[in-house]
Amino acid sequence: MGWSRKCEKRGKHWLRAAALGVVLLWTAGSNLQAEAESSKSAHWHKGVGVEAWLTGADKEQVSQNAASQNGAADAATGAAGGQETDVASDSADSKTKASSGDGTKMDDLTGTIVMTSVQNVLNVRTEPDSEAELAGYLYADCGGTVLEQRDGWTKLESGELTGWANNDYLLFGEEARKEAKDAGRIVATTKTGALRIRKEPSGDAAIYDLLEEGAKYEVVDEEQIRFSEDQEITADWVAVNYGGKTGYVSSEYVQVDFEIDYGETVEQVKAREEAETARLQAEKEVAAQKQKKEKAAQAEKEANKAAALAADDSVLLAALIQCEAGEEPYEGQVAVGAVVMNRVRSGAYPNTVKGVIYASGQFTPAGSGQVGRVVASGKIKASCLQAAQEAMAGSTPVGTATHFRRAGSREGIVIGHHVFW
């Protein structure tokens, strides 16, 4: 089964730091007043931000021998040109094993964060063996939780994916925390509806909008969120990205999380690819149906025009009169016919009824195919047929007028809803 790099196409999955043994889920301190109408000034403290979240939870020094990230990236992509991998190259730049290799469980890493060190994709297998069945894939910037380590392999959990990955393409300890900080993001999720998002960190500031419950926004300045020792937010306001602008929400009514990408199981990849194939097929079918309808409409339009051009001049003129003035008084119908005949005689327009009616950009009903449809239907009002015959006989209630439009500011001879000039 083929895989595809999860970029914009793959669904976003997020790793909550609580699952990593790095508690990144906080609720607001109870001493905060409600955002609703608090007059208290916001207290901003320059805190340690995400750095504390990723380093403060591990008080003890993690012992691990992970080598340079560049070496792993080269090994993972290398001469294979970005192919998936789970076995390190023999180059001098390859990482040394992070585990002892004696089959014992490394308790000092269990439960800590692990990040990928690849440019494209890393195979995750059901057993710590490069020949074992595939369980799924980890991608660049994906992370998870260390469950166990054995013989140069790490069993990890990343979203719904659980399996073994080669240590040569993983980061642990401080390197993993640094990578997570660079790859992840901090988000604030609203815990109530109609939450005000303000232009400044103050209860008196102007309001951008009211946010729905469950809305999620990226925190734009995590350094301005200070956390107490019991990991409660102690700042009054959280700055978030609101449509490209910085907005401020009360920390009492948001939940702040650290998020990072998960890997995918083989089943998830298959389902995603099948869904994408189905979507593309559906789009293709919709486009084909649209094209078919457009072709049918064009064919009908051309057929109707052909029928109109084959019709008697009086019938064609009557159809135009019906389209332009079918609901106008009889005098107005004759006037429309007279405009056409005046053009035929003027020398400035084609000298035939058909030529005048189908002149480019002149009569909208003719260009749209409406006149042709009326001719083809044979349903022309008797008054319009009579008006056409009278106009062709020389009757003109509008003199030598060669134009008309809906009555308005234009000066001219007004008959019904039209002005003629």
Instruction: Identify the CATH number of the domain in which residue 363 sits.
Output: 1.10.10.2520
* C-alpha to C-alpha distance for 143 and 113, rounded to whole angstroms: 7
Closest CA to 296 of 286, 285, 304, 284: 304
* pTM exceeding 0.75: no
43 and 95 housed in the same domain: no
Contact 203, 38 (CB under 8 A): yes
- Domain range holding 252? 17-54+182-259
pLDDT band at 306 (very low <50, low <70, confident <90, very high): confident
Alpha-carbon distances of 338 from 216, 326, 353, 398, 401, rounded to whole Å: 66, 15, 11, 7, 8
pLDDT band at 111 (very low <50, low <70, confident <90, very high): confident
Q: What is the mean pLDDT of residues 245-271?
A: 91
112 and 144 housed in the same domain: yes
- Residue 227's pLDDT is 55
The CA-based angle 380-382-387, given to 5 degrees, is 100
- Residue 30's pLDDT is 30
337 against 99, higher pLDDT: 337
280 within some domain: no
Largest Cα span, the chain: 110
* C-alpha to C-alpha distance for 111 and 143, rounded to whole angstroms: 12
Domain boundary among 105, 136, 171: 171
**Cβ neighbourhood burial of 50 (10 Å; 0-12, 13-18, 19+):** buried
**pLDDT over 50 (residue 117):** yes
29: Cβ contacts below 8 Å, ≥ 6 apart: 228, 232, 233, 234, 252
Please count the residues of the chain: 421
97 within some domain: yes
337 and 415 housed in the same domain: yes
For 154-176, the pLDDT digits (tens) are 999 999 999 999 999 999 998 99
| Cβ neighbours around 93 below 10 Å, total | 15
Closest CA to 165 of 259, 241, 72: 72
| Average pLDDT score over the chain | 76
**pLDDT over 50 (residue 109):** yes
Q: What is the mean pLDDT of residues 300-307?
A: 78
375 and 334 housed in the same domain: yes
Q: How many structural domains is the chain composed of?
A: 3
For 326-368, the pLDDT digits (tens) are 999 999 999 999 999 999 999 999 999 999 999 999 999 998 9
CA atoms within 13 A on the CB side of 368: 8
For 13-24, the pLDDT digits (tens) are 444 333 333 333
139 within some domain: yes
pLDDT band at 3 (very low <50, low <70, confident <90, very high): very low
Query: SS3 for 221?
Result: coil
* C-alpha to C-alpha distance for 396 and 305, rounded to whole angstroms: 27
Q: Look-up: residue for tokens 């790793």?
A: 15
For 196-234, the pLDDT digits (tens) are 999 999 999 999 999 999 999 999 876 666 555 554 566
29 within some domain: yes
231 within some domain: yes
* C-alpha to C-alpha distance for 153 and 158, rounded to whole angstroms: 15
CATH at 105: 2.30.30.40
**pLDDT over 60 (residue 66):** no
* C-alpha to C-alpha distance for 50 and 187, rounded to whole angstroms: 11
356 within some domain: yes
Domain boundary among 217, 244, 259: 259
- Residue 248's pLDDT is 93
Q: Do the strands 134-139 and 170-171 form a parallel or antiparallel pair, or are they unpaired? A: unpaired
**Cβ neighbourhood burial of 125 (10 Å; 0-12, 13-18, 19+):** buried
